[in-house]
Amino acid sequence: MKHFIYVVFLFVIIGCSGDDDGNPVNPPSNSSGLTGIWHLVNVTGGFAGINDNFEKGVIVWDFDDTKKRVEVTNNNAANSSTEDLFPTGVYTFSIVTINGNKELIVNERNLGNFEITTNEFIVDEQFKDGFRYTFQR
């Protein structure tokens, strides 16, 4: 019986001696993966079926995931008839899930379905005759 008590005591001591500072091992992430600079490189779709390409640096979006803000620098003043989303400015953003699809909201405007990879993200609203926007790092 004495050995049994020692074994139980040993398990209690070992179980309590770990590095437990109250922080979860894998804290939940609110990160969208967007933090940093992205370039709008292509816009397709719409009723007219446009397909406009932009050089990197013409339309730049700089996301701050912590503050949920995006700073847009739009240097596309030469072609005002081109669909290029927002003028230069700072806007709020969020990503919401609607019917199982992630969607990007900027300045309270739903831009459509959102998909991201390491170096590219696409926002697609073609399902409602809208546009498909392609951004690259």
Q: Which of 54, 61, 59 is nearest to 90 (CA)?
A: 61
Can you tell me the mean pLDDT for 57-77? 95
Q: What does the pLDDT read at residue 46?
A: 86
CA dihedral 117, 118, 119, 125 (to 10 degrees): 20
How buried is 8 (Cβ within 10 angstroms: 0-12 exposed, 13-18 middle, 19+ buried)? exposed
Architecture of domain 36-136: Beta Barrel (2.40)
- Contact partners, residue 117, CB within 8 Å, separation at least 6: none
C-beta pairs of 106-114 under 8 Å, 24+ apart in sequence: 106/70, 111/85
Q: Where does residue 87 fall: left (phi above 0), alpha (psi -120 to 50 degrees), or beta otherwise?
A: beta
pTM: 0.74
Percent of the chain with pLDDT strictly greater than 70: 76
For 83-120, write each residue's pLDDT tens digit: 899 999 999 999 999 889 999 999 999 999 999 999 99
Q: CA-CA distance, 9 to 51, in Å (whole number)?
A: 71
Can you tell me the mean pLDDT for 48-68? 94
Can you tell me the mean pLDDT for 54-68? 96
Average confidence score pLDDT of the chain: 82
Reported confidence tier of residue 48, pLDDT bands at 50, 70, 90: confident
